[in-house]
Structure formats: C-alpha cells, structure tokens
C-alpha cells in the first residue's frame, strides 16, 4: 500500500525542498522504494539538493504529455538505489502540467513505489493546485515566524477546500535559544493558531547549508541536529512513536560562567 505525500508551505524559503529531499532520502535508507516528484516547474531545485542535476534526461512535462514513459524519466540516486527523482522542466512554466495527468501518473507509480513525495511550489496558484491534486497526505512546512505561520494557516484552509483532510505539520528552522529568550514564536504559539498534528520540529542548522551545496541531504550526517530531527520524522511517518527532540540548553554552570563574565 503506497502513500502519496505533498510537501507544501505557501511561503517560499521555509524548506519545502530540503524537507522533501531529506524525508525521501530517509525513507529510502530504511529500505523503502521512494520517488520524489518536483512540481516546481521553472524553478526546479530538488535535483540540486540530491546532486543529480547532471543526470537528467527527460522531465515531468515529457511524461505528462506522453512523450516518454515515466520510468525513462526517473533518475536513480547515486548512493541510495531505492530512491528515484522525477525532475521537472526548467524551461516550461507551471501551466505545463495538467493536474489530471499528474494524478494518473501517481496512480501508475503506486504499483512500483512505497512512498511518493511531491515537492510543491510556493504560492497558492495553479502550481499548488496541481501539486496537491494527487496527494493522500499533505505535509505543511512552516517556520517560527509570523508570516510563515500566517501562510501555513492559509494553505491549511486551501487544503481543506480541496478536501485534503489529512494534514501534518513540520516546523522547520527553529532556533531554540531565540525561543527561550522569547524572541521567536514557540511551538505553543504555533500550535495555538494552526492546531494540526505536528510530526516534526527541526532546528536551524548550518549543516543544512553545507549539505545543500554538496548535494547530499543532511539526514545522512550523523552529527547534524537537523539530520537527527529528519530521521525522527521518517520514523514517525512509518508509524513509530518517537518523542520530540529536546534541544540542548546551556547548562547551569555555563550560565554561571556568563554571570561571572567568563
């Protein structure tokens, strides 16, 4: 029984594509057969994050317009061989994909894959509507920032209108120290407004930047906090009950040192 997830957010830059790459990688490392579909036509990035840009032969548009069978367009990941990418076109725009064609494609793929992850473009226009058309579950990514939360709220409303009722939340780029100081929205504030099931709290981590530039999702790094958070999310998606990470706080002695000016 395969599941189709769409990773969406409304606002740009909150980490949809990073999340897609990491969750895909994580599920595949657990031995699942996974395909990632990039629907951000014209602004594709998912291939970069996976380090697969130079292997692309065909794209999503070629498939939905019937020029090639989808298996020909899939790019296998170079290290994890149960992970595939269906990239999109960099020259066309969002109107080039027909929602019904995408639904048909996903249903075809259900036969072959355990998980289908769709990376949604920012915004609530056609690209968004196309991306969510096929999904069983929507994962809304947001950040502890007022505009990102506001947009997530709007997206949840739109998903409800499209009758996508299974919605999960991932809060990305949390800076525990700022939350502690009251300079950033905390999880309570976010849950208060969005009130949907949260499956992940990912800390802001510089390693995400380096891993993005290297084309290797940070979930593969054992020393990355964000990677650990993504591994936890993967476990939760597979039905395991994993408690949320607690972020290391400066200990009592370190605070004491601060007081005494060390």
Partner 1 sequence: MSEEIVKIKGSAAGGLQLTFAPQATFASIYDDIRAKLTDGNGFFLRGTLVQFPREVFSDDERSQLTKLFHKYGLIFRPLESGTASHSGHERHSFASSLLDQETPAATATALPNWMNEAVAAAENAQSEAPAAEPDPAPKATAAEPAARPAPAESAPEPPAVQEMVVVNRTLRGGQEIRTQSSVLVCGNVNPGAQIIAGGSIDIRGTCRGVVHAGAYGDTSAFIVADQLIPTQIRIASLIARSPDAPAGSNEQSAGAERASIKDGQIVIEPIKR
Which residues of the shown chain bind partner 1 in the complex (CB under 8 A)?
Answer: 150-151, 153-154, 156-158, 160, 182-183, 189, 192-193, 195
Our CA dihedral for 3, 66, 48, 35, rounded to 10 degrees, sits at 20
Q: How far apart are CA 188 and CA 180, in angstroms?
A: 12
Quote the least distance from Cβ 146 to partner 1, whole Å. 9
Closest CB to partner 1 among 165 and 240?
165
Quote the least distance from Cβ 194 to partner 1, whole Å. 8
Please, what is the angle between helix 225-237 and helix 206-214, to 10°?
80
Using the Cα atoms of residue 159, residue 161, residue 166 and residue 167 in order, give the sign of their dihedral. Answer: positive
Closest CB to partner 1 among 4 and 140?
140
Closest CB to partner 1 among 146 and 209?
146
Closest CB to partner 1 among 34 and 132?
132
Closest CB to partner 1 among 154 and 214?
154
Quote the least distance from Cβ 93 to partner 1, whole Å. 23
Quote the least distance from Cβ 154 to partner 1, whole Å. 4
Quote the least distance from Cβ 10 to partner 1, whole Å. 9
Closest CB to partner 1 among 95 and 147?
147
Closest CB to partner 1 among 98 and 189?
189
3-state secondary structure the chain: CCEEEEEECCCCCCCHHHHHHHHHHHHHHCCCCEEEEECCCCCCCHHHHCCCHHHCCCCHHHHHCCCCCHHHHCEECCCCCCEEEECCCCCCCHHHCCHHHHHHHHHHHCCCCCEEEEECCCCCCHHHHHHHHCCCEEEEEECCCHHHHHHHHHHHHHHHHCCCCCEEEEEEEECHHHHHCCCCCCHHHHHHHHCCEEEEEEECCHHHHHHHHHCCCHHHCCCCHHHHHHHHHHHHHCCCCCCCCCCCCCCHHHHHHHHCCC
Quote the least distance from Cβ 95 to partner 1, whole Å. 21
Quote the least distance from Cβ 153 to partner 1, whole Å. 4
């Amino acid at each position: 029984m395969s599941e189709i997830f769409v990773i969406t957010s409304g606002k740009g830059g909150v980490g949809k594509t990073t999340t897609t790459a990491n969750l895909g990688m994580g599920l595949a490392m657990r031995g699942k057969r996974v395909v990632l579909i990039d629907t951000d036509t014209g602004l594709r990035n998912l291939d970069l994050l996976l380090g697969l840009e130079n292997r692309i032969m065909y794209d999503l548009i070629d498939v939905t317009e019937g020029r090639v069978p989808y298996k020909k367009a899939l790019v296998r990941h170079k290290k994890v061989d149960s992970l595939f990418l269906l990239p999109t076109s960099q020259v066309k725009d969002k109107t080039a994909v027909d929602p019904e064609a995408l639904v048909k494609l996903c249903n075809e793929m259900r036969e072959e894959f355990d998980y289908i992850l769709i990376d949604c473009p920012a915004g609530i226009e056609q690209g968004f509507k196309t991306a969510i058309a096929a999904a069983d579950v929507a994962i809304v990514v947001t950040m502890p920032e007022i505009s990102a939360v506001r947009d997530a709220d709007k997206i949840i409303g739109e998903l409800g209108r499209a009758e996508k009722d299974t919605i999960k939340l991932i809060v990305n780029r949390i800076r525990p120290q700022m939350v502690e100081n009251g300079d950033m929205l905390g999880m309570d504030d976010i849950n208060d407004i969005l009130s949907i099931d949260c499956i992940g709290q990912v800390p802001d981590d510089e390693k995400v930047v380096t891993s993005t530039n290297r084309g290797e999702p940070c979930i593969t790094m054992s020393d990355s906090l964000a990677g650990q958070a993504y591994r936890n999310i993967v476990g939760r998606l597979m039905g395991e009950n994993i408690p949320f990470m607690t972020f290391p706080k400066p200990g009592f002695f370190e605070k004491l040192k601060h007081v005494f000016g060390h």
